[in-house]
Chains A and B, each alone.
Chain A
């Protein structure tokens, strides 16, 4: 029996944390959008108008088929990242770099694939005799080869004559028995070599000083006017599909690609059939912003928000706002009544920017997404509809973005305000874009001039008279620019200057340095930690999320004493990797540094390990994942910091006054899969237990309970650990299929996971982005504050009523009986 108890405890936990989606919940709280990326090649299926298929190959090494009527994906092939999978050219049969592949256009299956000889690819074309295409010619720098279209086998390969002087550029077949190769000697002449289709013999060679082109016949002269999105970019590329209509006139359809990676499909009278926002295939950063209150709620807020101005006006204001509330309620009732009469299918829940308002539990939010192309999107988190978009021109392709919410929606009537810091990675020069995250409109706020490269930005809790948080930008001379820089803010900054600290990281020099703000907004160096770059290099530095709440200060142990958590909000987790990459000597360093005093709280070295390192830093713990070079497997390690059984100063935490180092507990586990990204769930008050959301390369997101990553998991179970509900230590971390929060909705090339709290304590909103975007909700401790969907209201209320009536009746009966007895 004693052995059974821990087993039961484990079982209990497993039952407790399982949270798979029921079949009827699929798609109820979650959605996924699939993208392909910036289109490099596009081609139309057939010369007739009837065909619906459209083929694209993109810079993300993706080959896909789109429905030309709706813009939806028929199928999509995600090839390897990097140059290995790059698509060189797209014929109706697509071809990849060193591999020549043929695809079935209907279902997207691979017909065949051949490996080409190495050599730089120049051009390719179909070779056909009288409209029946049987061969593919591939031109390389030094050779030309002919392949059968049916199976990919090579028919012949010939070396090109004088390939060191002649630059061969194009290959063409006119439908006869010949293949023409066009080459050019720079600044001299052109050569055309004609090959026989049968055996690859050179039939003749023509050299000419210049090209004599026949004049083409003009088929059609037309203009189509179509409206360009005002918030989009300029057109960049056109793919025209011309076809013969039934009346023998020429019709055409156009696929327009604009600078912001959007694809627009236009039919002849200038009608936009569909638009695909392919910029969303490369989301860089995002934030979730609360939606504004409805008009009535805002009215109420406004009443309490304003300054008091006399008793009578206050009463009047209260009365008027209550009248408005009553009106709104009546309108709501009327709408309910009206809609109840209509069949359910007719009620449309279309989300538009006008109808946006916060729902009861704040589950619907605005997702502000920043893409690498410089286009910003506002997406409704409930449905995934794009509500606004804004293209920022002149954004360098290598720019780094940082999105900051300066003012939330909570300060009605001031509109919410987001600031995007765009930094050129080469020069370090930065620009700011300030906008309203609900409508996407640019704010008319005077921006500070930033003539110097920006090293660091930090958001202070200092609030100006308009409730906007103050953003500090540190330039390369360690001068600080404040935004907004109103008088009010400046005054507050000067008062607080001596308690504003910030840190800078220079991974090339291996230095971490701390600064303190001076009253004149310059700063002074106060601490420095140097990690010699000969030994290790800094890979990443992460603080905690400022929006995070921790509900309990400690953990109750088995003997009823409390182990207090070391909750240092200034703590930085610094991860390093050794410069020595030999598997025996490689290591990963984990440094916990106080960002104010520069004190190294803990330094640990994971031997025989290397990156890529993914880590999460939250509450009093750090979880990191690394590759064990000795055992050749992925491992998780968790660090937890505790102050001990007594708190040094329980009222307030100050980095300057915390002389004792915390106790650090650490444990490691084997994880049976590599991972691509990691994030922790976040809830409103931090009461709900935490889960780790682990993105796997397969595109699944695993919701791993933090309970399994607990350094206090005992190796030998005893009374106390059982009391604490600690799971006995097992070296391998399980992966249970019911922990996958995105069931079969895999996310290709997962890049990041964003979590945001909702109004419900039990619920955490999750957005995963990569090539696809996926939004869902997770309930780490199950939905303890919500009744289930299938809650039996009828049963409960009927039981209640029955009991009520039974009580009434029995009371009456009892009274009658008493009366009768009294008469007797």
Chain B
């Protein structure tokens, strides 16, 4: 562990509160103030920004912070602020005109050894209809997608439920804190052709089939037909020899 380079060393020495979880982290720390955002974790923090404007010109403000802590298993957690009174009314107004609620995160790498490589410019953006966010009482699912090397390549946001039915959200308290589920999805490995298993199965089948169905000779298979036939022929031959005249006469008469 200690040989992983100075930055790694630093990371591993710092005491951490959050438990590591693989590709999945969920957090609803909406009641916390923004002052305490960066004090608990020294890992890596990037802002999660959002924008919702009535005129649909995006103006991103900080919504919370994504705590990224690299290592072998990436862990991401989210701490976010409460929506202010002003924000709540704006969000409802935007929802009323069927505007969009957008989020964006900067392009970063989630793996520890790449973080110091170079800062990447640009953002990844995604959107959801503001009305569905309001109607779902701010319960959303944010998914971060990474590529094979751990770079963030995309972000997506959906609300559950996702539909806009036009139901009024009366209670202001429902729109105070986000109820966010955060997922990190890395690419899955596509399967290779399953040759080994198939060959194994074929072998097993062959083995099974091999035992009872040994190649029998023609005689061994059909002895029950051949023996009576031969017997019958022999018998009839013997009869022919003994009573040939009668048999022959009968045959002639038959025609």
- What is A's interface to B at a CB cutoff of 8 Å? 3, 498, 516, 518, 524-532, 535-536, 587, 589-590, 593, 597-600, 602-607, 628, 635, 637, 649, 656-659, 666-670, 715-716, 729-732
The distance in angstroms between the C-alpha atoms of A649 and B162, with both chains bound, is 11
In the complex, B120 has a CB within 8 A of chain A = yes
Contact partner of A589 (CB less than 8 A), chosen from B143, B147, B209, is B147
Known contacts A589-B187, A666-B191, A715-B201: A657-B163 contact under CB 8 Å: yes
In the complex, B161 has a CB within 8 A of chain A = yes
Q: Judging by beta carbons under 8 Å apart, are A668 and B192 in contact?
A: yes
Q: Judging by beta carbons under 8 Å apart, are B185 and A603 in contact?
A: yes
The distance in angstroms between the C-alpha atoms of A498 and B131, with both chains bound, is 14
Return the chain A residue nearest B154 by Cβ: A529
The distance in angstroms between the C-alpha atoms of A599 and B159, with both chains bound, is 13
In the complex, B153 has a CB within 8 A of chain A = yes
In the complex, B127 has a CB within 8 A of chain A = yes
Known contacts A656-B129, A729-B194: A598-B156 contact under CB 8 Å: yes
Contact partner of B158 (CB less than 8 A), chosen from A590, A599, A716, is A599
Quick one: which of A498, A593, A603, A637 has the most chain B CB within 10 A?
Answer: A603
Q: Judging by beta carbons under 8 Å apart, are B124 and A603 in contact?
A: no
Q: Judging by beta carbons under 8 Å apart, are A526 and B125 in contact?
A: yes
Q: Judging by beta carbons under 8 Å apart, are A658 and B162 in contact?
A: yes
Known contacts A607-B189, A659-B162: A525-B125 contact under CB 8 Å: yes
Please name all residues of chain A whose beta carbon is closer than 8 Å to the beta carbon of B187 when the two chains form the complex: 589, 603-605
> How many residues on chain B are close to A (CB under 8 Å)?
49
Q: Judging by beta carbons under 8 Å apart, are A536 and B193 in contact?
A: no
Interface residues of B in 50-78 (CB under 8 A from A): 56, 58
Q: Judging by beta carbons under 8 Å apart, are B126 and A605 in contact?
A: no
Please name all residues of chain A whose beta carbon is closer than 8 Å to the beta carbon of B162 when the two chains form the complex: 656-659
The distance in angstroms between the C-alpha atoms of A657 and B98, with both chains bound, is 14
Return the chain A residue nearest B122 by Cβ: A530
The distance in angstroms between the C-alpha atoms of A539 and B195, with both chains bound, is 29
Known contacts A498-B98, A530-B124, A589-B187: A715-B153 contact under CB 8 Å: no
Known contacts A598-B126, A604-B187, A607-B189: A731-B198 contact under CB 8 Å: yes
Return the chain A residue nearest B57 by Cβ: A524
Q: Judging by beta carbons under 8 Å apart, are A528 and B123 in contact?
A: yes
Contact partner of B127 (CB less than 8 A), chosen from A597, A649, A667, is A597
- A-B contacts, 9 of them at CB < 8 A, read A498-B98, A524-B58, A532-B107, A532-B120, A589-B187, A635-B192, A656-B132, A657-B132, A669-B193
Please name all residues of chain A whose beta carbon is closer than 8 Å to the beta carbon of B190 when the two chains form the complex: 590, 604-607, 637, 666, 668
Q: Judging by beta carbons under 8 Å apart, are B156 and A600 in contact?
A: yes
Q: Judging by beta carbons under 8 Å apart, are A3 and B159 in contact?
A: no
In the complex, B16 has a CB within 8 A of chain A = no
Q: Judging by beta carbons under 8 Å apart, are A603 and B188 in contact?
A: yes
In the complex, B197 has a CB within 8 A of chain A = yes
Number of A-B contacts (CB under 8 A): 134
Interface residues of B in 122-166 (CB under 8 A from A): 122-129, 132, 141, 143, 145, 147-149, 151, 153-154, 156, 158-164
Is the contact region of chain A dominated by helix, strand, or loop, or is it mixed?
strand
Known contacts A598-B154, A605-B187, A659-B160: A529-B198 contact under CB 8 Å: no
The distance in angstroms between the C-alpha atoms of A439 and B148, with both chains bound, is 53
Known contacts A659-B162, A666-B190: A527-B126 contact under CB 8 Å: yes
The distance in angstroms between the C-alpha atoms of A162 and B27, with both chains bound, is 82
Please name all residues of chain B whose beta carbon is closer than 8 Å to the beta carbon of A659 when the two chains form the complex: 141, 158-162
The distance in angstroms between the C-alpha atoms of A659 and B143, with both chains bound, is 11
Cβ of B22 to closest chain A Cβ, rounded Å: 17
The distance in angstroms between the C-alpha atoms of A527 and B30, with both chains bound, is 26
| Apart from the given pairs A635-B192, A659-B161, 15 other A-B contacts in the complex at a CB distance below 8 Å | A3-B209, A527-B125, A528-B122, A529-B154, A530-B154, A532-B147, A535-B149, A589-B187, A597-B127, A598-B126, A599-B154, A604-B188, A606-B189, A635-B193, A666-B190
Please name all residues of chain B whose beta carbon is closer than 8 Å to the beta carbon of A670 when the two chains form the complex: 193, 195
Please name all residues of chain A whose beta carbon is closer than 8 Å to the beta carbon of B143 when the two chains form the complex: 599-600
Return the chain A residue nearest B198 by Cβ: A731
Please name all residues of chain A whose beta carbon is closer than 8 Å to the beta carbon of B127 when the two chains form the complex: 526-527, 597-598
In the complex, B95 has a CB within 8 A of chain A = no
The distance in angstroms between the C-alpha atoms of A353 and B149, with both chains bound, is 59
Return the chain A residue nearest B102 by Cβ: A526
Return the chain B residue nearest A731 by Cβ: B193
Known contacts A605-B189, A637-B190: A536-B145 contact under CB 8 Å: no
Q: Judging by beta carbons under 8 Å apart, are B193 and A529 in contact?
A: no
The distance in angstroms between the C-alpha atoms of A667 and B197, with both chains bound, is 14
Quick one: which of B124, B162, B192 has the most chain A CB within 10 A?
Answer: B192
The distance in angstroms between the C-alpha atoms of A450 and B9, with both chains bound, is 59
The distance in angstroms between the C-alpha atoms of A635 and B154, with both chains bound, is 28
Q: Judging by beta carbons under 8 Å apart, are B194 and A731 in contact?
A: yes
Known contacts A531-B147, A657-B162: A599-B156 contact under CB 8 Å: yes
Please name all residues of chain A whose beta carbon is closer than 8 Å to the beta carbon of B192 when the two chains form the complex: 628, 635, 668
Q: Judging by beta carbons under 8 Å apart, are B132 and A599 in contact?
A: no
Return the chain A residue nearest B123 by Cβ: A528
The distance in angstroms between the C-alpha atoms of A530 and B154, with both chains bound, is 7
Quick one: which of B56, B127, B149, B188 has the most chain A CB within 10 A?
Answer: B127
Q: Judging by beta carbons under 8 Å apart, are A605 and B122 in contact?
A: no
Return the chain A residue nearest B141 by Cβ: A659
Q: Judging by beta carbons under 8 Å apart, are B100 and A603 in contact?
A: no
The distance in angstroms between the C-alpha atoms of A670 and B56, with both chains bound, is 51
In the complex, B205 has a CB within 8 A of chain A = yes
